[in-house]
């Protein structure tokens, strides 16, 4: 008999900005529609089959919020808004973002959805706004429906008359059709957590956990653990060493699971299968009895190499197909090591096979592995661990993977040589000791993905600084503010932000993940009532920096600083930047119905920096409700802000720890005037910079002390103090 321990890992990062309440990306909601309920509900059809579902707490709290209709994301809001009422920018967002689905499996099978995608591709040379102009109101409404409809669980496609009617209708949807689809969406969302509760109560599944916000625990304990595999690697400015944070991520995870499911989890899938000796006592102290990781970690721990025969069968089954007891006896934890090859067949290969063929092949491999183990151990019973992502793989399968899973569960439940077990059952008889474990993850048995790139180093350095600020929080800080800062810190420690840095992973949402990470770190400082380092407003992405359309200065200017458009020629030669919100901007930027910025112009003569700001309304009127500020990255820590009075400029030095040199105590010639436009005159000597030194700044708009716009969004406007031989250069932002 071969015991098969199947674990489906369900995970999404924490997309919510705690300050604004917005969820930046829709994947929690969409995968809840397609995977989180249906994957566990399918087990009702196969009562003899057992499995383990690993549910990450950062996912669960978001699913619960969406189920209670207390969470919003921009995709949801614009998908529900009446198509005829969408603004030009909102239509552009829909056309740009509502085709994020597997093309072959989720778009092309539906003629109307495929037609709309083809129309966008025909206009690929246009901007999102230009493409959206080619879509009628009816086109947009159909797109609103289809972008959600294809994510609805396959069970509903097979059995629900409301979904059947929408699919058969295909086009010409109404606003009432959108409301019907929304009702189904809420219905599915509200069934997710109860379905797991019911399956666990039946004893058919085990529910395990990961650290709350999915951090890499070994790196939280000590980032220098990475040097074990990359001894000569460059590293962040300082090590990050906070095992107390790792412990809190574990205890918080156990607590949430107990609240939702009535019992504390006994099992842990450490984020990305990442393990080290330092995290073992933390896992044991948090009450976890078993954990799991990859076969590569076991191979490096044992100093052995796992090999496979020409037909793919493991040649060392007696080593891999058994649980181990890891760590010293005082805090040992049972550990299962997944068969990497079998797990990857499900995740990456079987989607192109027939369902029966794929299921049959996997079961044959499991049976053969068990037989080989028995032969090598004198009749012993193998335990084979198959662990993988339980959601993303199915987008490439026919009918969301349901035919394959039904075929697989049918064979597993009926095969005379196979018995499915939960992870706890699989690890219950672990006796083989491993006093120490090699530090690494399921990817290449190291942590390169999360700390090996220059972008990672910058982000970890920002975490070190923020953690120091948190440690030094003043005793007078209100308790709720300190709690918010700590929560933001735990969120920023999540692994997902680092996954997208560097050149090994990329998606259309790299900038969104980068912005979310920096936003969470900025929120730490804000909760602590400390100044936010300006570098946290600059993208950490260097491998593929975002493109910003900025026209460079071409000559000296000396405009009259009067707040009016005195002459067309006075700003001739200045650089400029169009400050129009992008189609993918967040829903908490200044609304199109409120005054905002249009254009920023900037230039210089030998002694002054000049900046002009144009708004959607006269700047004098805009300043009645907003503050506008130049926030300098170089020289660091300088902010020039103009408020409602518009007759003076405040020279604010944010905090001395961010300055690289002292500024003059007083400075004449510094001016700002607001009228139809807002104009600044800033002597270079007031900034403490001299010829050929850099100057870099953002333009921010604040209301009631909260920043609501920043331009450019990801990189500052940069220039160099000119000399008398100034010639145009290719300035970038």
Calculate the average pLDDT of the chain: 90
pLDDT per residue over 247-256, tens digit each? Answer: 999 999 999 9
**% of the chain with per-residue pLDDT over 70:** 92
Identify the pLDDT of residue 547. Answer: 56
22: in domain: no
Q: Which domain holds residue 507?
A: 453-537
Claim to verify: residue 573 and residue 712 sit in the same structural domain: yes
Q: Which of 215-229, 336-350, 500-514 has the weakest average pLDDT?
A: 500-514
426: in domain: no
Identify the pLDDT of residue 551. Answer: 85
CATH number at residue 709: 2.60.40
461: in domain: yes
Identify the pLDDT of residue 544. Answer: 61
Claim to verify: residue 659 and residue 690 sit in the same structural domain: yes
Claim to verify: residue 559 and residue 698 sit in the same structural domain: yes
Residue 288, pLDDT above cutoff 60: yes
> Quick one: which of 76, 155, 157 has its CA closest to 110?
157
> Quick one: which of 61, 40, 131, 55 has its CA closest to 91?
131
Which domain-ending residue is among 537, 561, 592? 537
Claim to verify: residue 526 and residue 568 sit in the same structural domain: no
Residue 647, pLDDT above cutoff 70: no
432: in domain: no
pLDDT per residue over 418-452, tens digit each? Answer: 999 999 999 999 999 999 999 999 999 999 999 99
Claim to verify: residue 525 and residue 563 sit in the same structural domain: no
Identify the pLDDT of residue 580. Answer: 56
Identify the pLDDT of residue 263. Answer: 96
Claim to verify: residue 561 and residue 531 sit in the same structural domain: no
Pick left, alpha or beta for residue 654 (phi over 0 → left; psi -120 to 50 → alpha; otherwise beta): alpha
Instruction: Give the Cα separation of 223 and 210 in Å (integer).
Output: 19
Which domain-ending residue is among 483, 511, 537? 537
Which domain-ending residue is among 537, 567, 584? 537
Q: Which helix (H) or strand (E) holds 449?
A: helix 448-451
Identify the pLDDT of residue 654. Answer: 45
Instruction: Give the Cα separation of 43 and 112 in Å (integer).
Output: 33
> Quick one: which of 484, 393, 499 has its CA closest to 448?
499
Identify the pLDDT of residue 618. Answer: 87
Average pLDDT of span 349-377? 96
Claim to verify: residue 529 and residue 572 sit in the same structural domain: no
Claim to verify: residue 531 and residue 598 sit in the same structural domain: no
pLDDT per residue over 509-556, tens digit each? Answer: 888 899 999 999 999 999 999 999 999 999 988 876 555 578 889 889
Identify the pLDDT of residue 585. Answer: 34
Residue 503, pLDDT above cutoff 80: no
Identify the pLDDT of residue 584. Answer: 34
Average pLDDT of span 11-25? 94
CATH number at residue 510: 1.20.1430.10
Q: Give the single-character DSSP code of 130.
A: H
pLDDT per residue over 63-105, tens digit each? Answer: 999 999 999 999 999 999 999 999 999 999 999 999 999 999 9
Claim to verify: residue 555 and residue 691 sit in the same structural domain: yes
219: in domain: no
582: in domain: yes
Range of 183-192, 578-587, 630-639 with top mean pLDDT: 183-192
Average pLDDT of span 325-354? 94
Claim to verify: residue 475 and residue 563 sit in the same structural domain: no
Residue 614, pLDDT above cutoff 60: yes
**% of the chain with per-residue pLDDT over 90:** 74
Claim to verify: residue 594 and residue 484 sit in the same structural domain: no
431: in domain: no
Residue 650, pLDDT above cutoff 60: no
pLDDT class of 201 with cuts at 50, 70, 90:
very high
Is-contact 166 145, C-beta < 8 A? Answer: yes
Average pLDDT of span 639-665? 55
Claim to verify: residue 565 and residue 645 sit in the same structural domain: yes
282: in domain: no
Identify the pLDDT of residue 727. Answer: 52
Q: What are the b/e assignments for 160-198, b being 16+ CB within 10 Å?
A: eeebeebbeeebebeeebbebbeebbeebbbbbbebbeb
How many domains does the structure of the chain reveal?
Answer: 2
Tell whether pTM > 0.85: no
């Amino acid at each position: 008999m071969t015991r098969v321990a199947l674990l489906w890992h369900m995970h999404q990062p924490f997309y919510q900005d705690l300050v604004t309440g917005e969820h930046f990306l829709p994947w929690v909601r969409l995968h809840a529609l397609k995977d989180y309920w249906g994957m566990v509900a399918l087990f009702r059809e196969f009562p003899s089959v057992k499995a383990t579902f690993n549910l990450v707490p950062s996912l669960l709290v978001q699913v619960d919020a969406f189920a209670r209709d207390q969470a919003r994301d921009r995709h949801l809001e614009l998908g529900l808004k009446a198509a005829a009422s969408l603004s030009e920018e909102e239509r552009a967002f829909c056309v740009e973002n509502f085709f994020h689905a597997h093309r072959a499996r989720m778009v092309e099978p539906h003629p109307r959805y495929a037609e709309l995608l083809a129309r966008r591709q025909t206009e690929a040379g246009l901007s999102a706004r230009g493409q959206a102009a080619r879509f009628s109101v009816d086109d947009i409404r159909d797109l609103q429906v289809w972008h959600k409809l294809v994510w609805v669980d396959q069970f509903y496609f097979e059995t629900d008359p409301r979904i059947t009617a929408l699919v058969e209708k295909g086009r010409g949807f109404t606003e009432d059709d959108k409301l019907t689809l929304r009702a189904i969406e809420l219905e599915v969302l509200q069934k997710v957590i109860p379905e797991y509760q019911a399956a666990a109560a039946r004893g058919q599944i085990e529910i395990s956990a990961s650290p709350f916000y999915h951090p890499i625990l070994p790196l939280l304990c000590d980032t220098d653990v990475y040097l074990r595999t990359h001894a000569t690697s460059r590293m962040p400015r300082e090590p990050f060493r906070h095992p107390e944070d790792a412990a809190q991520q574990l205890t918080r995870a156990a607590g949430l699971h107990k609240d939702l499911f009535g019992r504390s989890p006994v099992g842990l899938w450490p984020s990305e299968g990442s393990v080290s000796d330092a995290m073992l006592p933390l896992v044991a102290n948090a009450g976890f009895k078993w954990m799991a990781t990859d076969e590569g970690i076991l191979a490096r721990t044992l100093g052995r190499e796992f090999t496979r025969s020409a037909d793919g069968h493991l040649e060392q089954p007696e080593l891999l197909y058994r649980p181990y007891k890891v760590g010293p006896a005082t805090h040992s934890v049972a550990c299962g090591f997944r068969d990497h090859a079998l797990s990857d067949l499900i995740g990456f290969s079987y989607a192109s096979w027939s369902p029966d063929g794929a299921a049959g092949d996997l079961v044959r491999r499991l049976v053969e592995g068990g037989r080989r183990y028995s032969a090598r151990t004198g009749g012993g019973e193998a335990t084979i661990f198959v662990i993988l992502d339980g959601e993303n793989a199915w987008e490439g399968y026919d009918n969301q993977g349901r035919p394959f899973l039904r075929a697989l569960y049918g064979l597993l439940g009926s095969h005379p040589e196979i018995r499915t077990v939960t992870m706890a059952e699989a690890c219950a008889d672990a006796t083989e000791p491993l006093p120490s474990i090699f530090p690494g993850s399921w990817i290449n048995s190291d942590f390169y993905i999360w700390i090996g790139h220059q972008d990672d180093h910058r982000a970890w350095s920002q975490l070190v600084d923020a953690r120091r600020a948190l440690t030094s929080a003043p005793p007078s800080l209100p308790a709720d503010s300190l709690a918010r800062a700590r929560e933001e810190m735990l969120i920023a420690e999540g692994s997902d932000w680092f996954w997208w840095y560097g050149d090994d992973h990329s998606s259309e949402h790299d900038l969104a993940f980068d912005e979310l990470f920096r936003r969470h770190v900025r929120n730490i400082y804000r909760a602590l009532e400390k100044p936010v380092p300006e570098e946290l407003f600059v993208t950490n992405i260097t491998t593929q920096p975002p493109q910003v359309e900025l026209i460079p200065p071409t000559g000296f200017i000396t405009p009259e600083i009067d707040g009016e458009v005195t002459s067309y020629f006075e700003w001739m030669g200045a650089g400029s930047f169009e400050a129009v919100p992008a189609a993918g901007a967040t829903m908490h930027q200044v609304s199109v119905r409120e005054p905002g910025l249009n254009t920023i112009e900037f230039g210089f003569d030998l002694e002054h920096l000049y900046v002009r700001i144009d708004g959607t309304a006269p700047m004098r009127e805009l300043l009645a409700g907003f503050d506008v500020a130049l926030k300098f990255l170089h020289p660091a820590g300088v902010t020039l802000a103009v408020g409602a009075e518009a007759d003076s400029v405040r020279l604010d030095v944010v905090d001395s720890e961010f300055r690289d040199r002292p500024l003059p105590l007083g400075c004449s010639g510094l001016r700002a005037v607001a009228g139809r436009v807002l104009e600044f005159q800033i002597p270079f000597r007031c900034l403490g910079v001299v010829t050929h030194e850099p100057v870099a700044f953002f333009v921010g708009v604040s209301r009631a002390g909260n920043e609501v716009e920043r331009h450019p969004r990801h990189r500052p406007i940069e220039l160099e103090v000119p000399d008398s031989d100034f010639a145009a250069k290719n300035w970038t932002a």
